Structure 1
Amino acid sequence: MKQNKYDEAEFFSNYSQMPRSTQGLEAAGEWHELRTMLPELKDKNVLDLGCGFGWHCRYAREQQARSVIGVDLSENMLQRAREMTDDSRIEYRHMAIEDIEFAPEQFDVVISSLALHYVEHVDQVFAQIHACLVEGGTLVYSVEHPIFTARAAQDWHYGPQGEIMHWPVDDYHQEGKRVANFLNQDVVKYHRTLATHLNGLIQAGFVIQQVAESKPSPEMMDQIPGMRDENRRPMFLMIAAVKA
């Protein structure tokens, strides 16, 4: 299923008010780690899957990437990305991640930020990414962590006074569809285990280079209320892999 919540007016309005939407990458809790996993981007051809407002596309060009293509299913996302971009070497295309068809070895780097947990058959996407990467090309992506997606509730367990007690994990090995509440609406996500992520990449022909489980930066823990609780469980999983 190719879900497109971001073209629904209320959902897009709520998303547009999130810190990562208004302030960019520096307001994204995982960015300080994800950035270190990216390869050298200078003179590289880059593909961004689920590009959203185009923050990663513009970052790649700031790092002197040769060209960048950003793909997203949402027209609202792409319209905002184009409004925020003044660079002829960044191209935005309206397309579902599942439908990408690029030339063999067209890209040096593929990036995907918090988009692949919306994709049902991620193994097929891994194969498509592998095909369009040059030999030695890099895939770096982030998704919601399997500990976070295991239960559709995606919330803490609270005590009688509303205090955070712990993060419950259940049905971890029952992979598949989850209907979660995000921005006050039901959103379909797909839970898969850590092993499925890693083995899927290996089976597609990738060599895994680095794995990270997000935690806030010290600055965020000091500046943003409630951020210290994010150290109690990982919210995001990030993987860097190279085409063998």
Structure 2
Amino acid sequence: MIDYHAFLNKLSQHPELAGWCDALPQQIADGLNEARYGDLPRWKAVLAALPDLAPNAITLNASRVGADGSITEAQHQQLHNTLKGLHPWRKGPFELFGVHIDTEWRSDWKWDRLKDAIAPLQDRTVLDVGCGSGYHCWRMRGAGANLVVGIDPTPLFVMQYFALQKYLNDDSVAVLPMGIEHLPEKLEAFDTTFSMGILYHRRSPFDHLIALRDSLRSGGQLVLETLVIEGKAGEVLVPEGRYSKMGNVWFIPSTATLESWLKKAGFKSPRLIDVSQTSCEEQRSTDWMNFHSLAEFLNPADASQTIEGYPAPRRATFLAEKP
């Protein structure tokens, strides 16, 4: 089930990426090391238990990414129960043979906010940093991308990707078990790089922005989505302790500050295309992610604040180009 050979062959056909193919097998092995991740054998058993089903339709350009076809009620139940073995499902939604994977995030809402503003993805080589199980990777492919490389260091999300790949069966999309720090330095290979929901988790936002810049070819586009605060240029929230119950939130800038950061990191023409307050309809607990979610992260007496008293999550999306 976990087989990257066809994808690596596709990667080798791209001159700027071919050199990476030598290092990737070991990087993948390191990222899926069972000695480090004790749940991996259980997740692999889940993949092996997925029923063999033949789709007659694949959907990559609608809210629910997935596959459809005629299956029996017993197969439907087996598929449902097996996919539940990869709980929690964070990004989506997906639909496989009538099984609706109702993920914590309505990631389709985020996609709808940016899809008409970004440079067309037709025939582009795309990088998605911190892609989770790959929902947006599939939407990028559905929008015409030639090759989509998703990276995420969380092995469960890679297992979820392979569960989907079993039925979507598209070797031009892959989720690799690694972070952006594992990319070759100054790769300069991608036409579009996405970083959505990652910047505030990085201890050095400038190092992250520079790494994103170095992933792009000259003229390539960055799509950056992150938490922001209301405020003037130079204003940044540095939470003491947790933010919205997250312990790994380091910097939350104002939009004006983030624009200046992008310029300082070497991007040209940074521009804000969307600012949205995150709602409990967009991020919530479901049967497929039954842990606490946004509703439990907000102040019960004042939903405009987090449980810690900071401004509630507000997200901005920027576009910028590499000179």
Q: Normalising by structure 2, what TM-score?
A: 0.53
**Equivalent residue letter for 1:66:** N
Distance 2:90 2:237 in 1: 33
1:175 aligns with 2:238: yes
Distance change in 2, residues 1:101/1:127 (3 Å): same
1:203 aligns with 2:236: no
Higher relative contact order, chain-length normalized (CA < 8 Å, sep 6+): 1
Question: Please, which of 147, 150, 153 is the counterpart of residue 67 of structure 1?
Answer: 147
Residue 16 of structure 1 and its aligned partner are, at CA, apart by 2.1
Write the mapping of 1:1-244 to structure 2, written as runs, cut at 5 A: 15-16=88-89, 22-23=101-102, 28-85=108-165, 86-101=169-184, 104-147=187-230, 173-175=236-238, 178-182=241-245, 186-194=246-254, 195-211=256-272, 212-214=274-276, 235-244=314-323
Residue 42 of structure 1 and its aligned partner are, at CA, apart by 0.7
The CA RMSD measured in Å over matched residues stands at 3.5
Q: Is the 8 A contact 1:144 1:237 kept in 2?
A: yes
**Equivalent residue letter for 2:265:** A
Residue 112 of structure 1 and its aligned partner are, at CA, apart by 1.7
Distance 1:19 1:55 in 2: 5
Q: Is the 8 A contact 2:278 2:313 kept in 1?
A: no
Residue 55 of structure 1 and its aligned partner are, at CA, apart by 0.8
Q: Which entry has the higher C-alpha Rg, 1 or 2? A: 2
Q: Is the 8 A contact 1:101 1:128 kept in 2?
A: no
Distance change in 2, residues 1:66/1:103 (3 Å): farther
Unaligned runs of 5+ in 2: 1-36, 40-84, 95-100, 283-294, 296-302, 305-310
Render the CA deviation track for 1:192-234: whole Å, top value 9, x for unaligned: 32244222211121123431212589xx8xxxxx9xx88x977
Render the CA deviation track for 1:154-182: whole Å, top value 9, x for unaligned: xxxxxxxxxxxxxxxxxx64536641344
Distance 1:234 1:55 in 2: 21
**Equivalent residue letter for 1:241:** A
Q: Is the 8 A contact 2:196 2:224 kept in 1?
A: yes
Unaligned runs of 5+ in 1: 1-6, 151-171, 221-225
Q: Percent identity?
A: 22
Q: Normalising by structure 1, what TM-score?
A: 0.68
Q: Is the 8 A contact 1:113 1:143 kept in 2?
A: yes
Q: Is the 8 A contact 2:229 2:236 kept in 1?
A: no
